[in-house]
């Protein structure tokens, strides 16, 4: 963010940076952005944990052991290193479930964003590029989508298609495209007005080619930022759906489901909800920090 | 102003109409209605009888128009589960959700706007960083986790507030905080960015050049202009809160509209689900329309056009 | 005693890749009733100089001066409350952009009245009367009706008149007009300029007129300071400057103006090749030397202000070579 716009200090501010310098600058800015570094580190760590889950998890996350139910985590008096984060109501190792749960959240976040990002980008780019009646119709669709209460419609649709991991991904993917459409629409409008798009049109490039080789690369930054923020949104919604019992179904170790299952024990063992909640917060925080950071370092108004 | 209003009204009405089609389809996609109404023990003949009696054998378009006509008269049919009309169910649950939403919104605005203004006025300083950090952290905490956390701290450990229900005003404190929480970052960011933009504008320089006090410059000249987009966002957020209250009502066991819808979904009671979806969507459309009008009213450039 | 004395004023703006020296070593003085024109191309630091006088610089900008006296008041050490009491009251400012310099959310009357009422304990009705009287003075027809209008309902020329009226509300001793006519149509430019000159005379104010248009300046200024790259390169009485410009940059600027009767139709107008130097980082020597036809090795050294005749100063070491060439 700039402070009050200087009026008349022109010199030296407009000097256009060479492309290489700008790329180097982007890297330098990325490493200089403390939020981005922190979020990126956290996110990479969580992804690594999710990928290496079978190696890292001390126990089978589905293995029930009713003799050792609700063992508290290691920092409490009755805890032990065998179950570092304790066990749940069925005696399953909490740490292992937490580690495998990262896979579910990341999987849902990624696949949802792939679906919703594709839908939203197609709508937004078409609306922004073609304008006129196409824009009016597509914007109308976006407005209508925004009017639908997301949580409620997601719950109802999940119930209709059958609550499952796939069901949640499809439902969220088909619902969460609105921000993609809004952002890519305005970004495309800006690009479509530039000279190089006019030039591409003048030399007879096909519309599809202009969209793919001129528009798409130029809205990519904005798209990546929205994708990260929407990924966090999808993960939070999945947790909420699972918490309400209409998302991912047991025995999958979804963090939202773990919180839901722990709810009845929270008065005496708050850690049963505290641990998965902390994991959820850490993941969403990491993704949001990365998204905000990327927006800061790639936003044109912050270049200079 | 008049042409602006009527144009926005036309858009709002047509969006509401489209939403009604979605809600109508939601019910029909949920399975065979005749079977659902007849109940599990009904014979094929009874089901056919009901199908005819309820007009479910007519073309879809006709059924939709019929349904829309009745919905416009607040007749959403009967609940499959409760022996009651959907309308009376919704009407009895509405006040809880509306109260919760209104308190949450107030809470969110009272916290977020001053915080955003402070962050903009002291941009780049520690105040700004703290406010932004609070935002990023706030966005990462899911409302239901915050709700559960509040229960553990304030109800279980401190015994200050009741765990759940809607018996007294005390019951609304924790749910409102949890529900309002999610709107704070968005409203704060918008007021901060709006203020930053306005503070760097020429007319703020003019105001300072007049020798006005900083408080007058900020509150009279800057905030008035920066607040215009926040009004629209507040309306949108109120709509989101009504929709999102389903999670909070589930956490705090509050018998509101969201709780009703949650139960209805679990029980396949789709006439209720359909009505709640339609009502929330129409409220959202109405809110955004009112926000547009309020915006136009606050901005003399549109008001006097 | 002079109304305004500026000695060695500098404005630095710290940026990520170094300090931008927006203004350095600017000195001048202004008597009551006098008009000083500050001339230069965009980026030369003229607006920064005026904002520095009002202490309205962007937050991160740093102002330094050996002396900054307004009617005996030291502006360098004056606390913000003291500055606020001066601003709009005894020193008022008119900005370049009439289209965006008025708050779109409040009526003209509100914004005019506020200018008076924040400095004087007057009733709203009295402020209103004063506003109507000044709006009439600046040539706005149906002034009383305008008070209830919003800025967007007025044309650019009318808005600039409103800005002038606003600056006059408290009857200031000094008025700073920062390119007051740049954003306006050519026909309206002349009207506004004459209006300013007349008002200045009528109210006995001193005026600092900031402009990049020497034609404008020639008509109203008593004194002229030519700025280049944040420095005053030449300052003199208006007559002296236009009659015998000493600095090559001033000459370049004068060559850019077509003179009726002297510039033959179709003949090329003068242009100064090149662009402003980068002002980020330490500055050495004459900033104009890269673009100067008379540049010599000594131009890279320290350049003192030379008094060429009483009241006429130029910051150039090649004045003699220039004279010889002419």
C25-62 per-position pLDDT tens digit: 888 889 988 999 999 887 788 889 999 999 988 888 89
Asked whether residue A28 carries a pLDDT value surpassing 80, the answer given is: no
Size of interface A-C (CB pairs under 8 A): 51
Give me the pLDDT at residue A108, please.
92
In a domain, A55, yes or no: no
Q: A245 vs chain C: nearest CA distance in angstroms?
A: 50
| The two three-digit tokens of residue B74, written as one number | 């607040």
Residues of chain A above pLDDT 70, percent? 89
DSSP A197-221: HHHHHHTT--HHHHIIIIIHHHHHH
Same domain, B40 and B189: no
Same domain, B101 and B183: yes
In a domain, A9, yes or no: no
The rounded mean pLDDT for chain B is 86
Which domains are delineated in chain C? Answer: 1-90+175-189+201-260+275-326 (3.40.50.300), 101-171 (no CATH)
Asked whether residue B302 carries a pLDDT value surpassing 60, the answer given is: yes
If you average pLDDT over each of A3-12, A103-112, C234-243, which comes out highest? A103-112
Total domains in the fold of chain B = 2
Residues of chain C above pLDDT 70, percent? 95
Distance (Å, rounded) from C-alpha B196 to C-alpha A238?
A: 35
CB contact under 8 A, C118 and B213: yes
Give me the pLDDT at residue B300, please.
81
CB contact under 8 A, C48 and A4: no
Same domain, B57 and B199: no
- Subunits with 3+ C-beta pairs closer than 8 A to A: B, C
pLDDT-derived band at C267 (thresholds 50, 70, 90) equals low
Any A CB within 8 A of B242 CB = yes
In a domain, A64, yes or no: no
| Residues on chain A touching B193 (C-beta within 8 angstroms) | 1
C2-14: pLDDT as tens digits? 899 999 899 998 8
In a domain, A77, yes or no: no
Question: Residue range A48-58: average pLDDT?
Answer: 85
**Residue with more model confidence, A290 or B159:** A290
pLDDT-derived band at A235 (thresholds 50, 70, 90) equals very high
| Residues on chain A touching C48 (C-beta within 8 angstroms) | 6-9
Residues of chain B above pLDDT 70, percent? 99
Q: C24 vs chain A: nearest CA distance in angstroms?
A: 13
Domain closes at, from B72, B101, B119: B72
Give me the pLDDT at residue A194, please.
81
Give me the pLDDT at residue A304, please.
31
| Residues on chain A touching B243 (C-beta within 8 angstroms) | 149-152
Same domain, B99 and B231: yes
Give me the pLDDT at residue A107, please.
92
Asked whether residue B129 carries a pLDDT value surpassing 50, the answer given is: yes
C164-216: pLDDT as tens digits? 899 989 989 999 998 888 777 778 788 888 888 888 888 889 999 998 878 77
Same domain, B223 and B272: yes
Q: Which of B209, B216, B221 sits opposite C93 (nearest CB)?
A: B209
Q: Which of A3, A8, A9 sits opposite C59 (nearest CB)?
A: A3
CB contact under 8 A, A280 and B19: no
Give me the pLDDT at residue C96, please.
84
Same domain, B31 and B129: no
Residues of chain A above pLDDT 90, percent? 24
H or E segment to which residue C321 belongs: helix C319-325
**Residue with more model confidence, B178 or A14:** B178
Question: Residue range C114-123: average pLDDT?
Answer: 90
- Subunits with 3+ C-beta pairs closer than 8 A to B: A, C
The rounded mean pLDDT for chain C is 85
**Residue with more model confidence, C172 or C274:** C172
Tell me if residue A102 falls in helix, strand or coil. helix
Asked whether residue B170 carries a pLDDT value surpassing 50, the answer given is: yes
Interface confidence (ipTM) of the complex: 0.85
Same domain, B18 and B44: yes
Asked whether residue A286 carries a pLDDT value surpassing 90, the answer given is: yes
Q: Which of A4, A151, A266 sits opposite B246 (nearest CB)?
A: A151
Q: Which of C58, C96, C276 sits opposite A11 (nearest CB)?
A: C276
Distance (Å, rounded) from C-alpha B94 to C-alpha B170?
A: 19
Give me the pLDDT at residue A2, please.
34
Indicate the DSSP class of residue C32.
T
Nearest chain A residue (CA) to C18: A12
Same domain, B239 and B290: yes
In a domain, B299, yes or no: yes
Give me the pLDDT at residue A16, please.
37
Asked whether residue A8 carries a pLDDT value surpassing 50, the answer given is: no
Lowest-pLDDT range of A168-182, B132-146, C40-54, C312-326: C312-326
Q: What is the CATH number of the domain that holds A187?
A: 1.10.3720.10
Asked whether residue A113 carries a pLDDT value surpassing 90, the answer given is: yes
Q: What is the CATH number of the domain that holds B285?
A: 1.10.3720.10
Question: Residue range A96-109: average pLDDT?
Answer: 90
Give me the pLDDT at residue A6, please.
34
Any A CB within 8 A of C240 CB = no
The 3-state secondary structure of chain B, one letter per residue: CHHHHHHHHHHHHHHHHHHHHHHHHHHHHCCCHHHHHHCCCCCHHHHHHHHHHCCCCCCHHHHHHHHHHHHHCCCCCECCCCCCEHHHHHHHHHHHHHHHHHHHHHHHHHHHHHHHHHHHHCCCCHHHHHHHHHHHHHHHCCHHHHHHHHHHHHHHHCCCCCCCCCCCCHHHHHHHHHHHHCHHHHHHHHHHHHHHHHHCCHHHHHHHHCCCCHHHHHHHHHHHHHHHHHHHHHHHHHHHHHHHHHHHHHHHCCCCHHHHHHHHHHCCCHHHHHHHHHHHHHHHHHHHHHHHHHHHHHCHHHHCC
In a domain, A190, yes or no: yes
Question: Residue range C257-266: average pLDDT?
Answer: 63
Mutate to test the interface with C, among B124, B127, B203, B210 (most CBs of C within 10 A): B210
pLDDT-derived band at A231 (thresholds 50, 70, 90) equals very high
**Residue with more model confidence, A57 or C146:** C146
Total domains in the fold of chain A = 1
CB contact under 8 A, C163 and B213: no
- Domain with A266 in it: 101-276
Question: Residue range C275-283: average pLDDT?
Answer: 79
Question: Residue range B233-253: average pLDDT?
Answer: 88
Q: A5 vs chain C: nearest CA distance in angstroms?
A: 7
Give me the pLDDT at residue A54, please.
85
Any C CB within 8 A of A9 CB = yes
Give me the pLDDT at residue A15, please.
35
Domain closes at, from B72, B96, B118: B72
If you average pLDDT over each of A86-90, B161-165, C69-73, C303-307, which comes out highest? C69-73
Same domain, B105 and B238: yes
In a domain, B173, yes or no: yes
In a domain, B293, yes or no: yes
Same domain, B153 and B219: yes
The rounded mean pLDDT for chain A is 82
In a domain, B77, yes or no: no
Lowest-pLDDT range of A51-55, B209-213, C124-128: A51-55
Question: Residue range A283-295: average pLDDT?
Answer: 89
Nearest chain B residue (CA) to C150: B300
Same domain, B153 and B287: yes
Same domain, B263 and B120: yes
Enumerate chain C positions whose Cβ falls within 8 A of a Cβ in B. Answer: 54, 56, 84-89, 92-93, 95, 97, 100-106, 114-115, 118-119, 150, 152-153, 163, 166
In a domain, A82, yes or no: no
Give me the pLDDT at residue A4, please.
36
Q: Which of C43, C96, C277 sits opposite A9 (nearest CB)?
A: C43
Any C CB within 8 A of A5 CB = yes
Give me the pLDDT at residue A17, please.
38
CB contact under 8 A, B277 and A140: no
Question: Residue range C119-141: average pLDDT?
Answer: 89
Mutate to test the interface with A, among C10, C19, C20, C227 (most CBs of A within 10 A): C20
- Domain with B62 in it: 2-72
- Residue B4 neighbours by CB distance under 10 Å: 15
Of the candidates B268, B271, B257, B284, which has an alpha carbon nearest to the alpha carbon of residue B92? B257
In a domain, A282, yes or no: no
């Amino acid at each position: 963010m700039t402070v009050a716009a200087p009026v008349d200090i022109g010199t030296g501010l407009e000097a256009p940076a060479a492309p290489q310098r700008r790329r180097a600058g982007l890297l330098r800015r990325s490493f200089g952005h403390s939020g981005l570094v922190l979020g990126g580190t956290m996110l990479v760590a969580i992804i690594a944990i999710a990928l290496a889950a079978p190696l890292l998890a001390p126990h089978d996350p589905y293995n029930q052991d009713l003799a050792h139910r609700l063992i508290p985590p290691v920092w409490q008096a009755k805890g032990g290193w065998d179950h570092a984060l304790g066990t749940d109501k069925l005696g399953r190792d909490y740490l292992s479930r937490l580690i495998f749960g990262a896979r579910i959240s990341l999987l849902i976040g990624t696949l949802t964003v792939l679906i919703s990002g594709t839908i939203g980008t197609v709508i937004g780019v078409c609306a922004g590029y073609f304008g006129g009646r196409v824009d009016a119709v597509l914007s109308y669709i976006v407005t209508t989508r925004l009017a639908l209460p997301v949580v409620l419609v997601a719950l109802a649709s999940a119930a209709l298609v059958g609550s499952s991991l796939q069901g949640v991904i499809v439902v969220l993917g088909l619902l969460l495209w609105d921000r993609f459409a809004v952002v890519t629409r305005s970004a495309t409008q800006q690009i479509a007005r530039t000279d190089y798009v006019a030039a591409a049109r003048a030399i007879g490039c096909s519309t599809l080619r202009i969209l793919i080789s001129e528009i798409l690369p130029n809205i990519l930054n904005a798209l990546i930022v929205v994708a990260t923020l929407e990924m966090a949104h999808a993960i939070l919604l999945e947790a909420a759906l699972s918490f309400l019992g209409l998302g991912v179904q047991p025995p999958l170790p979804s963090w939202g489901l773990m919180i839901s299952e722990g709810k009845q024990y929270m008065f005496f063992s708050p850690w049963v909800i505290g641990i998965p909640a902390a994991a959820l917060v850490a993941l969403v925080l990491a993704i949001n920090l990365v998204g905000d950071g990327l927006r800061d370092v790639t936003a044109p108004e912050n270049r200079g | 102003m008049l042409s602006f209003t009527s144009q926005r009204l036309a858009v709002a009405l047509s969006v509401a109409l489209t939403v009604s089609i979605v809600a109508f389809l939601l019910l029909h996609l949920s399975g065979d209605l005749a079977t659902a109404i007849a109940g599990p023990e009904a014979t094929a003949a009874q089901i056919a009888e009901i199908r005819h009696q309820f007009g479910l054998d007519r073309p879809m378009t006709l059924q939709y128009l019929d349904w829309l006509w009745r919905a416009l008269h607040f007749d959403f049919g009967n609940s499959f589960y409760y022996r009651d009309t959907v309308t009376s169910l919704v009407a009895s649950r509405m006040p809880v959700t509306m109260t919760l939403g209104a308190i949450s919104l107030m809470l969110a605005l009272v916290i977020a706007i001053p915080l955003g203004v402070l962050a903009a006025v002291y941009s780049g300083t520690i105040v700004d960083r703290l406010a932004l950090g609070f935002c990023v952290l706030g966005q990462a905490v899911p409302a239901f986790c915050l709700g559960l956390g509040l229960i553990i701290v304030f109800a279980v450990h401190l015994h200050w507030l009741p765990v759940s229900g809607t018996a007294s005003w005390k019951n609304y404190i924790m749910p409102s905080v949890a529900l309002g929480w999610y709107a704070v970052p968005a409203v704060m960011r918008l007021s901060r960015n709006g203020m930053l933009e306005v503070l760097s504008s020429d007319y703020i320089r003019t105001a300072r050049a007049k020798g006005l006090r900083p408080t007058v410059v900020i509150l009279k000249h800057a905030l008035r202009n920066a607040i215009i987009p926040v009004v629209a966002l507040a309306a949108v957020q109120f709509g989101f809160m009504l929709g999102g209250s389903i999670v909070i009502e589930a956490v705090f066991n509050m018998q509101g509209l969201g709780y009703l819808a949650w139960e209805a979904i679990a029980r396949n009671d789709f006439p209720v689900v359909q009505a709640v979806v339609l009502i929330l969507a129409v409220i959202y459309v109405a809110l955004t329309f009112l926000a547009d009008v309020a915006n136009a009213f606050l901005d003399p450039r549109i008001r006097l056009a | 005693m002079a109304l305004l004395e500026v000695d060695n004023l500098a404005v630095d703006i710290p940026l990520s890749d170094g300090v931008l020296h927006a203004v350095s070593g600017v000195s001048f003085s202004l008597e009551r009733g006098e008009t000083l024109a500050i001339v230069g191309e965009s980026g030369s630091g003229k607006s920064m100089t005026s904002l520095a006088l009002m202490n309205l610089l962007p937050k991160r900008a740093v102002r330094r001066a050996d002396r900054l006296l307004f009617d005996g008041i030291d502006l360098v050490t004056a606390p913000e409350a003291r500055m606020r009491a001066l601003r709009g009251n005894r020193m008022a400012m008119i900005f370049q952009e009439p289209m965006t310099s008025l708050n779109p959310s409040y009526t003209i009357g509100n914004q005019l009245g506020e200018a008076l009422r924040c400095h004087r304990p007057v009733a709203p009705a009295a402020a209103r009367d004063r506003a109507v009287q000044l709006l009439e003075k600046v040539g706005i027809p149906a002034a009383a009706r305008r008070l209830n209008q919003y800025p967007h309902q007025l044309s650019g020329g009318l808005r600039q008149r409103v800005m002038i009226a606003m600056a006059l509300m408290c009857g200031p001793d000094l008025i700073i007009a920062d390119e007051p006519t740049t954003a306006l149509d050519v026909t309206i430019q002349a009207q506004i300029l004459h209006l300013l000159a007349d008002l200045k005379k009528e109210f006995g104010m001193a005026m600092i007129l900031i402009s990049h248009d020497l034609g404008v300046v020639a008509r109203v200024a008593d004194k002229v300071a030519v700025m280049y790259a944040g420095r005053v390169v030449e300052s003199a009485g208006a007559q002296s400057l236009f009659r015998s410009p000493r600095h090559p940059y001033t000459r370049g600027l004068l060559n850019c103006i077509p003179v009726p009767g002297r510039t033959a139709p179709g003949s090329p107008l003068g242009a100064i090749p090149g662009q402003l130097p980068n002002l980020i980082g330490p500055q050495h020597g004459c900033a104009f030397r890269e673009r100067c036809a008379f540049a010599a090795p000594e131009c890279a050294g320290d350049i003192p202000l030379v008094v060429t005749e009483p009241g006429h100063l130029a910051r150039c070491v090649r004045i003699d070579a220039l004279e010889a060439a002419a």
